[in-house]
Amino acid sequence: MTKKFETALVQGGRAPTKSYGYVNPKLTRGSTVLYPDMATKLATGKRRLEPVEIYGTLGNDTHFALERMIAEIEGGSHAQVVGSGLAAVTVPLLAYLKSGDHVLMPDSVYGPTRNFCRGTLQRFGITAEYYDPMIDPAALRALFRPATRVLFTESPGSHTFEVQDIPALAEVAHAAGAKVFMDNTWGLHHFQPFRHGVDVSIQALTKYAGGHSDIILGAVSVNSKEDWLWLRDGALEMGQYASPDDCWLALRGLRTLHVRLKAQEAAGLRVAHWLAEQPEVARVLHPALPSCPGHEFFKRDFSGAAGLFGVVFQPE
């Protein structure tokens, strides 16, 4: 991302040269698109990988505005908006993997992602193997098989909040010919995935991007045309669609993301420090605290912290 984060949030999704008219992108609802003639229809239909209006399920200007904004925030080239955060996990996995493939998953992965691996992926003949999220590169290298096509990462981990050494793990994966997928929901803006070796970045826009608990939405970002081809085709083949109303609300929510993240980080740290002093608390799991596993990677790779963290209470 070449612009400052604050600037990207103000300008994102808006025409860069527009100096008059309405400030915000319009909300477009629709299914059928009419063309002036058959030649235009046929020519437009060949451009499904571009942000053009072909049919409702392929997206419209509202979807495209949000996708441009997410791609810029993540530092990627393209983004695909999908109907939920979980869909942002499942769509790229289904689009990229095939029967007989092997995927490495962190043992602290988001619960519904684990359920998807145990259910749908297993039924499709795809094997998921779980690894210690704090694994060192040498030990990770030993887990790779000829059929390993994806190293999935989630940093910080769900519930446990350890921070992975993403650049080191990505180097191992790429040397083995595998792609690196990352659930970067917690690190939105704070962690720039494509600068650290990630190929596919996953976001649940329901949370920080939306910011008001009134949308369900997800996004997948990539940083190469090669990855965009299989991701976009996979999403279209699966009939993935996001409500334009939710996309418009996400665009509105993103305008205030910078100030919300700063306030949430400060409030979260105050609460975390207070909890750490309470006798009922055994541990506070917050990446910004020195006691958190992988804190050194957090300091090196993240520009700040989200508001979400975990607490382990003393046994009764």
pLDDT at residue number 54: 86
Same domain assignment for residues 221 and 130: yes
CB 128 within 8 A of CB 121: yes
Mean pLDDT by 10 residues, the chain (316 residues): 71 64 84 92 87 88 94 94 97 98 97 97 98 97 98 95 98 98 93 97 92 94 96 94 95 90 95 97 97 97 95 92
Domain containing 262: what range?
Answer: 257-313
Kindly report the backbone phi and psi dihedral angles of residue 282, in degrees, each rounded to the nearest multiple of 5, phi listed first.
Answer: -85, -45
Same domain assignment for residues 112 and 188: yes
Which of 237, 254, 271 delimits the end of a domain?
254
Same domain assignment for residues 240 and 268: no
Same domain assignment for residues 269 and 248: no
Same domain assignment for residues 227 and 170: yes
Q: Report the alpha-carbon distance of residue 305 to residue 269 in Å, rounded.
A: 9
Query: What separation in angstroms does the CA of 257 have from each of 205, 264, 267?
Result: 11, 10, 15
Same domain assignment for residues 45 and 172: yes
- Here the CATH number for the domain that contains residue 181 is 3.40.640.10
**Token pair of 158 as six digits:** 């769900």
pLDDT at residue number 19: 60
- Here the CATH number for the domain that contains residue 279 is 3.90.1150.10
pLDDT at residue number 20: 67
pLDDT at residue number 16: 61
Same domain assignment for residues 88 and 114: yes
Same domain assignment for residues 122 and 27: yes
Which of 220, 254, 288 delimits the end of a domain?
254
pLDDT at residue number 122: 97
Q: Report the alpha-carbon distance of residue 287 to residue 299 in Å, rounded.
A: 9
The crossing angle, in degrees rounded to 10, of helices 61-74 and 244-254 is 40
Query: What separation in angstroms does the CA of 263 have from each of 270, 285, 287?
Result: 11, 19, 17
Same domain assignment for residues 177 and 284: no
Same domain assignment for residues 52 and 173: yes
Q: Report the alpha-carbon distance of residue 23 to residue 187 in Å, rounded.
A: 28
pLDDT at residue number 264: 93
Q: DSSP H helical segments within 105-240, as ranges?
A: 111-116, 122-123, 137-141, 166-175, 225-237
**What's the number of domains the chain is made of?**
2
CB 304 within 8 A of CB 287: no
Same domain assignment for residues 276 and 300: yes
pTM over 0.95: no
Same domain assignment for residues 50 and 96: yes
Which of 239, 254, 269 delimits the end of a domain?
254
